[in-house]
Chains A and B, each alone.
Chain A
Amino acid sequence: MMRELHVSLNQTQKVRLQAAFQHLSDIGSQASSGLLVSVSDTIPVNNEDGILKGHGTSEHDGQVVATLCGVVERVNKLVYVRALRARYKPEVGDIIVGRVIEIAPKRWKLEINFSQDAVLMLQSMNLPDGIQRRRTVVDELNMRTIFEENDVICAEVRGFQHDGSLHLQARSQKYGKLERGQLLRVPAYLVKRRKQHFHDLEQYGVDLILGCNGFIWVGEHVVPADNEMVEDQESTLKDKEQSYTPLEIRQNICRIANSVRLISALGFAISVDAIIDTAEASKSSNIDIKDMLGAEFYVQTAEREVQKRISLLKKKRG
């Protein structure tokens, strides 16, 4: 469940925030690509023949009317409305982060913030010993040694099953179990599809994975290990303490996690640059990590975004 960031602003801060959002919508309307419609708005179609009415439209009194709130898109003869705040819509090749909720015969079921649970087959997962071989019954019985319930896993969408649920694969070294960090949930529409979803932030020593389904993993940098199976030992308390994440990396992890929380609370698109900018801004203004979620930095981040977009628009205009 998405837990919103509750920020209580005083009067001046409310005024500043409203001004910033007003600026942003002004800039947005200057740069908009399509027509914004809400439910039951008529879509101007100029009475052409053979117009195909796509998703989010319907016929009413001879006119094409929108059934969603969103942007009108047009592809030759197809007219459809693309919703802005849609549920996560998976595509093949998406990188996602999910949590194991069930172990079924020869497969793991993962929760990925979609209408159905995704399936990760045993065959789509590398065995710990690294050998490419047929999965035997013993492998099936030992599935729990690879992934247990509640484990956080990074995988790629391989395809769709016949009932619409997702098929995942995690064969490469960069996919697999995620440990030593924290998982954040943001609305899925804020994470845009990019070339890179794995980000190794070397200057912080932090791994950042932006799952297209809205699950974001921020954790300590882990070198993709060779295929060695670590025996599950009963580690003593001392061992556990020594293996805690070092304090400096932990501070960076918390700073980046708070940047993500802040950006998603403001409703801005989540990208690595935005996250790093926010974290750097908080560091340079000497803002304490926990104060990043406070009212003052919230308003400052909105104002900074306004400045950024104004300068971007100026650059575009040349």
Chain B
Amino acid sequence: MVGLSAGERQFIYGGIAQDLRSDGRQRLQFRPISVQTGVIPQANGSARATMGATDVIASIKAELGKPAPLRPDKGKVSIFIDCSPTAAPVFEGRGGEELSAELSVGLQRCLLGGKSGAGAGIDLSSLIVVEGKVCWDLYIDGLVISSDGNLLDALAAAIKAALSNTGIPKVSVSVGASGEDQPEVDVSDEEFMQFDTSGVPVVVTLTKVGRHYIVDATLEEESQMSSAVSVSVNRHGRVCGLIKRGGTGLDPSVVLDMVSVAKHASETLIAVLDSEIASAEAIDDDDAI
């Protein structure tokens, strides 16, 4: 990451204070978002999302597995993010591990809710095939190809688009299995169930620079942040997850204020994302035909 001179930092601070950032955006405006779905044909669902120069890919693979004994009526989802060295030279080898772990945990918190599975943005009970015995395991993988700030929001958008692109094969359970036996399941190759993504939240990261908050920070703006709060909001305006990053402490009233600002900003984001996903899926359907 290139450092910034004192003069440039002053300029960025001044821009944020005057509501005119370096690329002309206002504090609460997002960069142009574009979404492509179906970029990885071998996966059950995939999507590529770009926010300005930040470019990420999410892919979803579904495999049959056994549900956890404590939660026999819920499927399992695991999220793993990888930062590719093409995004920044520092990510080569083990350099990107810390950031990858931070992003993975952040997205798990935002999309999967608490430890008990309560408040999950993804409906885990829809992944059950035979209660207590067979369920779908979803493996969500994210790859950061190009990084220009705001990775968490871009990854969450890509995951939401990938989920709407995901087709879970229909499974027919052979009757007659009883007791402790593993039932026989027949995975269909042709029929697919589309995943229901109406409840999947988006993530809005608010970066605090000086006294103001900005949405969708670029890499330079992120280097000036004192702290950042990422809020995951679903389309009903409910907060599904909350993460605070950065070394500076925040007064609780500031945190609450940031949450409400994030909720407000999420409305535009959800609208834009929905239209982008719909048009991406339409292009996909056109290509398929």
Contacts and interface: CB of A to CB of B under 8 A. Distances in A.
B96 interface: no
Interface string A231-269: 000000000110111010011001101100100000000
Nearest to A11: B283
B32 A293 contact: yes
B251 interface: no
A15 interface: no
In terms of DSSP, what is the predominant structure of the interface of chain A?
mixed
Interface stretch (B21-29, B165-173, B258-266): B21-29
A177 B4 CA distance: 13
A150 B5 contact: yes
A3 B22 contact: no
Contact of A182 (B8, B26, B29, B50): B8
A179 B10 contact: yes
Given A4-B53, A150-B4, A254 B11 contact: no
Interface stretch (B12-20, B58-66, B182-190, B196-204): B12-20
Contact of B23 (A178, A181, A219, A293): A293
Interface in A174-216: 177-183
A121 B129 CA distance: 73
Contacts of A180: 7, 10-11
B2 interface: yes
Interface string B25-52: 1100100101000000000000000101
B148 interface: yes
Given A6-B52, A6-B55, A151 B5 contact: yes
A149 B6 contact: no
A257 B7 contact: no
B125 interface: no
Interface residues of B, number: 31
Contact of B8 (A6, A183, A291, A293): A183
B179 interface: no
B3 interface: yes
A288 to B, nearest CB: 7
B18, B24, B50 pick with most chain A CB within 10 angstroms: B24
B11 A257 contact: no
B226 interface: no
A152 B22 contact: no
Contact of B146 (A3, A152, A247): A3
Nearest to B7: A179
A294 B32 contact: yes
Given A6-B34, A99-B5, A250 B23 contact: no
Contacts of A219: 11
Contacts of B21: 254
B53 A182 contact: no
A258 B6 contact: no
Contacts of B148: 3
A250 B53 contact: no
A177 B14 contact: no
A287 to B, nearest CB: 10
Contact of A240 (B10, B22, B26, B34): B10
A181 B24 contact: no
A36 interface: no
Contacts of A179: 5-8, 10-11
A295 B14 CA distance: 28
A99 B15 CA distance: 22
Contacts of A99: 2-3, 5
A1 B50 CA distance: 18
A241 B32 CA distance: 30
A88 to B, nearest CB: 17
Contacts of B8: 152, 179, 181-183
A177 B148 CA distance: 26
Contacts of A289: 20, 23-24
B24 A292 contact: yes
A181 B11 contact: yes
A290 interface: yes
A277 interface: no
B53 A244 contact: no
Interface in B47-88: 50, 52-53, 55, 88
Contact of A290 (B15, B29, B50, B146): B29
A5 interface: yes
Contacts of B26: 290
Contacts of B18: 244, 247, 250
Contacts of A7: 32
Cβ-closest 5 pairs across A and B: A179-B7, A289-B24, A244-B14, A8-B34, A150-B3
Interface of A: 1, 3-8, 99, 148-152, 177-183, 219, 240-241, 243-245, 247, 250-251, 254-255, 257-258, 261, 288-295
13 contacts: A3-B148, A6-B50, A6-B52, A6-B53, A8-B32, A152-B7, A179-B7, A181-B8, A219-B11, A244-B18, A251-B24, A254-B15, A257-B23
Given A179-B5, A245-B11, A251-B20, 9 more contacts: A8-B32, A152-B7, A177-B7, A178-B7, A179-B10, A179-B11, A180-B7, A250-B18, A291-B24
